[in-house]
Structure 1
Amino acid sequence: MTRPLSRRLLALALASALSTVPAFTAMAQTATAAPVSPFTVSDIRVDGLQRISAGTVFTYLPVERGDRMDQAAAGEAIRALYKTGFFEDVRIGHQGDILVVTVTERPAINKLTLTGNKDIKTEDLMKGLSDIGLTEGNTFDRLSLDRVTQELTRQYNNRGKYNVKITPSVSSLPRNRVDVSIAVEEGKAARIQHINLVGNELFEDKEILKYWESGVHNWLSWYRRDDQYSREKLSGDLEKLNNYYLDRGYVDFSIDSTQVSISPDLQDMFISAGVTEGEQYKISSVEITGDTVLPKEDIEKLVLVKPDQIFSRSLLEITSDAITATLGNVGYAFAQVNPVPDVNREDKTVAIALQVVPGPRVNVRRVVFKGNSRTADEVLRRQLRQFEGTWYSQAAIDRSKIRIQGLGYFDKVDVETTPVPGSHDQVDVVYNVNEVAAGQFVFGLGYSQLTGLSTQVQVSQNNFLGSGNRIAVQAQRNDYLQRYDFSFMDPYFTDNGVSLGYNLRWSEFNNSDFNTAQYSSTSGMGQMVLGVPITETDSFTTLLGIDSNQIFAYRGVTPESIVDYIDAVGQRTFHAWRGEIGWARNTLNSALTPTRGMSQRLWLEATLPGSTVEYYKLNYNISNFWPLSRHLVLNTRAELGYGDSYGDAFVRNVCYTAPTMVDHDNDPATPPVFTPGAAPTDPCQPDSADYVKTITADGLPFFENFYAGGTRSVRGFKDNTLGPHESALGSSYRQPIGGSLKTIGSVEMIFPTLIDSSAARVSAFVDFGNVFSSFDAFDAGELRASTGLALMWRSPMGPITISYAFPIKKEDGDQLERLQFTFGGSF
């Protein structure tokens, strides 16, 4: 239940508890009123007022000058003034012909304080009290406070907390004011120590109780909270008990008695239920009656209950729902299917008649949008699957709602169907939306172990001028990267949903600070992206772009193979015409915290002929969420990547001067200084070189290599440190250089209800994977693996991910990092 709904229910309960207070008070005080001799009112005087004006009293007083005052009129006046709730005491008297009204005002609440409440949030409780008038500044009624105390006690009892103590206190202040405080001692919820079923001979208690939300105290109760007694939860469990037997054919099953007892210390609960199982029934016949609209044989295909089967109410309900949904999708919005069972207790059989009542076929006259003050109707209409002037379809209406929610422009989308006045076969479909700000100016500040302190400035508009187009400008800087981006996307470049977008980027990248080989690069690119929807969940994308990548590498600092690759190509700037094609499918039930569904993407990117280096990369990512129970979700994930060149290899002979080791000071404590050899200017002149080396540039370029290790791949290992390593010339320090084959996998058990927050999730995981220099170099024995726990939290400051991993498959030389985290935010 959402918090606003809880607040409304609490306010309603408190209001119900207080609904009769003013009337009872008035009646009690009126009964003690002194007799009044009849007279004609010449004037009215009000005594005892402090905060309330005399004009307010005259407004509610049903007596005016010139009226006849007697005992009945006095009683009516007293009741009227008590009903206002402003006064503790009202008396009617007179001095001659002057009516004298003497009042004692109720004190005003100066301060209202709540302490000790945890189960019921303070803001929810304050809102509930405010809705019934018990709030700071209002008049104070002690009887109302007593009633509220009783209602709060009942609320906590319903949560299984029977030893709760609600202690209200009132402190008097000058000027007829009071401070009201409500101290709550919630205590601990009573634990269910035993559940006893009496009369069940066919099924064991263990088999029946495993479907209940209530359970006896066990070692997982701290997480499941199934041992906490709740009256509502027990009612639901008894309904499950009834369904358990009805789904197995026991038509005459009944729950004869239910008893709940509690220990003297109010800590332990004992539940007992007496049942009568009865005999098992089978289905003798199934008949479809009424107007089926569709061919009867098509409806019969939806029937799951068959003759000679054991009777099952759940299968009967599924059948009814399937028929209703099928008719609803062809225009019969008000179709009903009424199962009529005929029980034969002698033969222990049930004959079932499914009575189909289609009702009128309904046409959608209009589709209306309300609440979209900025977003154009066209942006919403292109998401529709239910169109005007067509037959009503519940499936199309629901799908339209999901597609509108997926735009990201609205935090709430409600749909309702309203009959057209004067027509029995037409409805209007109304989508009520609540817009959120689609534009953002973001200043981001974050920190991670890999990147250090990072800053980000972004200006974006996801719904530019209400057109649905997206424009974004971004600047990012951290320890290893400077990056500037501009992007534009028109998601409906054509009416059938083909999208068109453009991307521009410039960056300076220092790989040596990224746990990779020590070299730097400056790059720029421009791209055009085209997206084509295939189905509701599938899409196809293409990309065409041009980019330039200038590499800065130095022999003796950068691994030798990278310097050789650059020398073999003969230039440090790599120009490329780039193309990409991809396919994606997404059936996740949530973009932020999914619990079911699959997301997968397959794409091929390649440089086109004429580029400095001709190569390709094939990537496949898949993530599947499997809901195992209300408490557990299994996520299986895999990432595969492979790249290679398809053009001719670069082969060159390069002349080098020999590297030297010079000991400048002959001091044993000071190591000799290494001076790398230099390559003479082309063309190669063997006579002036110390040696000649034949070098080759082939395969996937080093700056496109895959990397693994870290928070987004194999946790427990330092970012980007798995896979091939290499040293620079004259150095013993081994640097990660990545590889052309990546294999990453993960199995993660998510506990979505372990933390009482939809924004936080705890999981236990096993990660495995590695990077290999080539396809032929793959060796399953070289895979690394780790296991651990992770916390993912969408905090108000931004997303936070923390993991603690234990490497269970590692080798000497691997760089481990058990505690890893990333943090980022916007403000």
Structure 2
Amino acid sequence: MTRLPNRRLLALALTAALAPALPALAQSADPFAPAGTPAQSPDAASVAGAGAFTVSDIRVDGLQRISAGTVFTYLPVERGDVLDSTKAAAAVRALYKTGFFEDVHLDRQGDILVITVQERPAINKLTVTGNKDIQTEDLMKGLKENGMAEGDTFNRLVLDKMGQELTRQYQNRGKYNVEITPTVSRLDRNRVDVTITVKEGKAARIQHINLVGNEKFSDEQILDTWESGEHNWLSWYRRDDQYSREKLSGDLEKLNNYYLDRGYVDFNIDSTQVSISPDRSDMFITAGVSEGDQYKVSSVQLTGDTVLPKEQLQKIVLVKEGQIFSRRLLELTSDSITATLGNIGYAFAQVNPVPDVNREAKTVGISLQVVPGPRVNVRKVEFKGNTRTSDEVMRREMRQFEGSWYSQAAVDRSKIRLQGLGYFETVDIESKPVEGSNDQVDVVVNVKETSSGSFVFGLGYSQLSGLSTQIQLSQENFLGTGNRVSVQAQHSTYQSRYDFSFLNPYFLDNGLSLGYNLWWRELDYSDFGTAQYSSNSGAAQVVLGFPITETDTVTGLFGIDTNQILSSGSTPQPIREYLDALNTRTFHAWRTELGWSRNSLDNLLTPTRGMQQRVWLETTLPGSTVEYFKLNYSISKFWPLSRHLVLNTRGELGYGDSYGDATTRNICFTAGSFQDTDNNTTTPPVFVPGPDPTDPCLPSSPDYDKTVTADGLPFFENFYAGGVRSVRGFRDNTLGPRQAPFANSTYLQPVGGAFKTTGSLEMYFPTLLDTPAARASAFIDFGNVYKDVDSFDAGELRASTGLSLMWRSPMGPISISYSFPLRKEEDDELERLQFTFGGSF
């Protein structure tokens, strides 16, 4: 009995404590309670007393960046509407759905609906750091597509989802230790900076791959075709030990194809298990397989409408009766028939292989059902995206013509030719059926233009030329006409050069090109690593080119040029004798050149397959100061050995000689001095021609005659070798014959020769560097220069080996090589580290 009063006291105490909170709870429960107004206010309506009401006006509070009109656009309530709890909930949902607001609250002041909002902040700056495997551009593109870009409204939920997606992408690449850390920094005016920090970690390495159930083929035979592989000493380069879910999926498909290509029709992958070590650094893969029996082909038939005679298509059927069944040969046969029909207008042709499996006899009968579809005619060829380049320039590269039968081969060739122009970043060709017609298509060429002009002011450096400066203004697609114009000025340690060139690649509709070259050069060969003399030369030339096939071109050149030679006492004696024999220091020439070239490379900058050949004959015409010719041949072929290796074999031959009569003169040579019989003066030891070829010397002098001859290829047209562009590891232009300024001098200067042979074997590593702008390689170079072709001696060839790196950097191309000589002589000038910076590839 004594406890009851205590319970009553407790109840009264709780009631007294909760009493101040009850009005507030009631107000917050009422969605229409006036904002900031006590429940006892005469203008406020409580939940019990207010209920629905007619909205006389709407006010929006809390807006900063978003206008009230935007809110009214999404708000499903207008003036005059009766607002109840159902419509209020719908209004709140509608405003939240816009994604503009973090908080939405509805209040009431009399009959005025008050909407109080808290805007989501705007993204001021979005930064991604630490990512290497996934390019920043790709990440930014994915973020933008999901509403995370600078200027967009910030949504924490979207940011968290993107973090989860990035984690998933990195784990698919085998990086299970990746950490994605988003950081949001608040700024004034309701803005935020978002930083996504990526710690990629190291990819989990595949330590072991276990195949269970394979009896016909060993693990080594099967895994040799896989992109994934166990960790080995070459994994640093191949990266085959890095686990990737997509890569493993492709390898399992290769496993299936491996058996189907060898006749195991019933092959099946029973199970696949991937496990990871506790520290998430090592992966272990197990695949269980059932091989089954090997099947042979019992028969091969062509059925359906073959269009062409069956005998003609039968020649391209690779699957033969009695062979072991191969799905690869079956697919190649289907593709060949489809391509053959596609090239004569049947753009939608299909070949459906229908197998008839006899498991008792272990044979497969194959029926190739040909469904040609309608023969398709091209109604028109349309170009899109070419804002600068005229349609005419693109149309002349097309090999698929309007009004002709559709040909997939012609379409593919057209794409290659358009890409070869260098005007477009991307080229895509699609065929669109003409509406209302089943036998016509429109060929639409979509291009994305790239900059085809450039203004270059640059600095370069090489060990040969030292510091060089260059100014060049060029336009490969002048005014969208396809014409090429270039103006260039260049200065380095040993040369000053000024050039102007113009080329119209389609001077005539048949593809005849016409161009002009004007140039002037001042060369100081004493800084060129060769014989010490200087020359000032210039030329005006006309160039013609005519394509004879898709890959072959014939070129011709005609021009006039002048070359002034400036010699000195340090100039090698044979050069001075050559000049004395001709009794001139200025050479004029009428020059012609005829050449043939073939180019089937798959890429001009970083080729991986194909061949490039060129042979050209250069000669001066009768009436020139010196009559001579030069014959050159070069070849370069790329062999793709694997995804990781590309072999380049290249060679070059050059030969030159004079074709006119040799010029012979006598000069007077005296003991200790040279005597000029015209001026009766004695000069230092320099050869001086006498006035009378039969008796050039003074009778009273103890002298004798010397006969000098100008014959063979002029010294200023000699071939040179050595350096980064021929035989690396040897100083530029130093291989070959050498001559001294005087008979007893030990200072030998390279003078070049009339016969040159060089070659190289170079192995490129395409996957070593994760950028198409750089290439690493290992090479073996060999070659030399000889006085003439009769002086050739294979035992005199020089050779070197080494490593090379070529990089098209934003500041200009860089080439670096480090070489070790394999065959050299004692007086050879070596240069192990060689590099160039600047210029162009």
2:688 maps to what in 1?
Answer: 679
Q: Please tell me whether residue 64 in structure 1 is matched to residue 78 in structure 2.
A: yes
1:4 maps to what in 2?
Answer: none
1:495 maps to what in 2?
Answer: 509
SS in 2 for 1:817: coil
Q: What are the residue-to-residue correspondences of 1:619-634 with 2, within 5 Å?
A: 619-634=632-647
Deviation for aligned residue 1:721: 0.3
The code of the aligned residue for 2:459 comes to L
Q: Please tell me whether residue 293 in structure 1 is matched to residue 302 in structure 2.
A: no
Q: Please tell me whether residue 527 in structure 1 is matched to residue 541 in structure 2.
A: yes
SS in 1 for 2:790: coil
> Deviation string for 1:259-280 (max 9, x for gaps)?
0111111111110011000000
SS in 2 for 1:722: coil
Q: Is contact 2:530-2:750 (8 Å) kept?
A: yes
1:759–1:31 Cα change, 3 Å: farther
Distance 2:403 2:158 in 1: 56
1:374–1:655 Cα change, 3 Å: same
Deviation for aligned residue 1:395: 0.4
Deviation for aligned residue 1:723: 0.5
> Deviation string for 1:257-310 (max 9, x for gaps)?
010111111111110011000000000000000111111100000100000000
The code of the aligned residue for 1:311 comes to F
Find 1:388's aligned residue among 391, 399, 402.
402
Q: Please tell me whether residue 798 in structure 1 is matched to residue 798 in structure 2.
A: no
Distance 1:642 1:467 in 2: 39
> Bigger CA drift: 397-406 or 499-508?
499-508
User: Could you tell me the TM-score, scaled by structure 2's length?
Assistant: 0.89
> Bigger CA drift: 778-787 or 120-129?
120-129
SS in 2 for 1:717: coil
SS in 1 for 2:688: coil
Q: Is contact 2:147-2:158 (8 Å) kept?
A: no
Q: Please tell me whether residue 655 in structure 1 is matched to residue 668 in structure 2.
A: yes
Note the residue ranges of structure 2 that are not aligned, 5 or more in a row. Answer: 1-27, 33-46, 675-682
> Deviation string for 1:240-261 (max 9, x for gaps)?
0000000000000000101011
Q: Is contact 2:768-2:776 (8 Å) kept?
A: yes
Distance 1:377 1:425 in 2: 25
Note the residue ranges of structure 1 that are not aligned, 5 or more in a row. Answer: 1-29, 662-673
1:263–1:40 Cα change, 3 Å: same
1:578–1:122 Cα change, 3 Å: closer
Deviation for aligned residue 1:693: 0.3
Find 2:605's aligned residue among 566, 579, 592.
592
Q: Is contact 2:577-2:687 (8 Å) kept?
A: no
Q: Please tell me whether residue 429 in structure 1 is matched to residue 433 in structure 2.
A: no
> Bigger CA drift: 54-63 or 364-373?
54-63
1:516 maps to what in 2?
Answer: 530
Deviation for aligned residue 1:31: 12
Distance 1:64 1:577 in 2: 91
1:703 maps to what in 2?
Answer: 716
Deviation for aligned residue 1:660: 5.8
SS in 2 for 1:235: helix
Q: Please tell me whether residue 777 in structure 1 is matched to residue 791 in structure 2.
A: yes
Task: Give me the CA root mean square deviation.
Answer: 2.3
Q: Is contact 2:632-2:652 (8 Å) kept?
A: yes
Find 1:714's aligned residue among 727, 749, 756.
727
> Deviation string for 1:615-668 (max 9, x for gaps)?
21111100000000011000001010111122111122111344469xxxxxxx
Distance 1:484 1:241 in 2: 61
Distance 1:53 1:368 in 2: 45
Deviation for aligned residue 1:151: 1.8
1:106–1:500 Cα change, 3 Å: closer
Find 2:593's aligned residue among 569, 576, 580.
580
Quote the sequence identity (%). Answer: 73
Find 1:182's aligned residue among 171, 196, 203.
196
1:50–1:563 Cα change, 3 Å: closer
Q: Is contact 1:112-1:135 (8 Å) kept?
A: yes
User: Could you tell me the TM-score, scaled by structure 1's length?
Assistant: 0.91
The code of the aligned residue for 2:501 comes to S
Find 2:427's aligned residue among 413, 430, 441.
413
The code of the aligned residue for 1:687 comes to L
SS in 2 for 1:157: helix
Deviation for aligned residue 1:468: 2.3
> Deviation string for 1:58-95 (max 9, x for gaps)?
33221122111112111111111111223333333434
> Deviation string for 1:307-361 (max 9, x for gaps)?
0000000000000000000000000000000000000001000000000000000
Deviation for aligned residue 1:726: 0.8
Distance 2:281 2:684 in 1: 79
Q: Is contact 1:656-1:680 (8 Å) kept?
A: no
> Bigger CA drift: 485-494 or 445-454?
485-494
> Bigger CA drift: 583-592 or 310-319?
583-592
Q: Is contact 1:375-1:467 (8 Å) kept?
A: yes
> Deviation string for 1:198-244 (max 9, x for gaps)?
10000001100011111111111111111111111110000000000
Q: What are the residue-to-residue correspondences of 1:544-559 with 2, within 5 Å?
A: 544-554=558-568, 556-559=569-572
> Bigger CA drift: 300-309 or 489-498?
489-498
> Bigger CA drift: 281-290 or 434-443?
434-443
> Deviation string for 1:655-688 (max 9, x for gaps)?
1344469xxxxxxxxxxxx942451542352225
1:20 maps to what in 2?
Answer: none
Number of aligned residue pairs: 784
Distance 1:709 1:217 in 2: 41
Deviation for aligned residue 1:113: 4.5
Task: Report the structure number with the largest CA radius of gyration.
Answer: 2
Q: Is contact 1:657-1:677 (8 Å) kept?
A: no
2:4 maps to what in 1?
Answer: none
SS in 1 for 2:368: strand
> Bigger CA drift: 453-462 or 587-596?
453-462
Find 1:567's aligned residue among 559, 580, 597.
580
Find 2:134's aligned residue among 113, 117, 120.
120
> Deviation string for 1:490-538 (max 9, x for gaps)?
2222221122222222222211111111111122222222222111111
> Deviation string for 1:581-639 (max 9, x for gaps)?
21111110111111000001111111222222222111110000000001100000101
Deviation for aligned residue 1:57: 3.0
> Deviation string for 1:747-802 (max 9, x for gaps)?
00001111110010000000000001111111111111100000011111111111
2:226 maps to what in 1?
Answer: 212
Distance 1:107 1:439 in 2: 43
Deviation for aligned residue 1:368: 1.7
Distance 1:645 1:101 in 2: 98
Distance 2:687 2:631 in 1: 37
Deviation for aligned residue 1:96: 4.1
Deviation for aligned residue 1:172: 5.2
1:22 maps to what in 2?
Answer: none
Deviation for aligned residue 1:825: 5.3
Q: Please tell me whether residue 469 in structure 1 is matched to residue 469 in structure 2.
A: no
Distance 1:244 1:809 in 2: 46
Distance 2:469 2:520 in 1: 16
Q: Please tell me whether residue 732 in structure 1 is matched to residue 746 in structure 2.
A: yes
Deviation for aligned residue 1:483: 2.1
Distance 2:720 2:692 in 1: 36
Deviation for aligned residue 1:109: 4.5
Q: Is contact 2:31-2:107 (8 Å) kept?
A: no
> Bigger CA drift: 603-612 or 360-369?
603-612
Distance 2:436 2:598 in 1: 45
